[in-house]
Amino acid sequence: MSRRGNCHDNDVAESFFLSLKRERIRRRTYKTREEAQQDMFDCIETFHNPVRKHVRNGMLSPVEFERQQSVKAERV
């Protein structure tokens, strides 16, 4: 939830849902709510989180970014 007077608090969520709608939902027609929910889960868990590259972390996937951060932390 946004703090009063700060419209940027929801940027991350807004960006995520925009990408999800653009890349997944608008390209499909679901017969049931359960089918849509399962597709969203699969999309997030099998593509968005482990594979999809993000500009804000140096064009790395979240899994690769976390791996690099772990390596850096071990060196310290």
Assign residue 59 a region: left if phi > 0, alpha if psi is -120 to 50, beta otherwise? left
Cα–Cα separations (whole angstroms), residue 66 to 8, 15, 19, 23, 69: 25, 20, 21, 24, 5
- Global model pTM greater than 0.85: no
Could you read off the pLDDT of 13-62 as tens digits, one per residue? 888 888 888 888 888 899 999 999 999 898 888 877 777 788 888 899 88
pLDDT attached to residue 4: 67
pLDDT attached to residue 46: 83
Domain spans, the chain: 7-75
Residue 71: pLDDT above 90?
Answer: yes
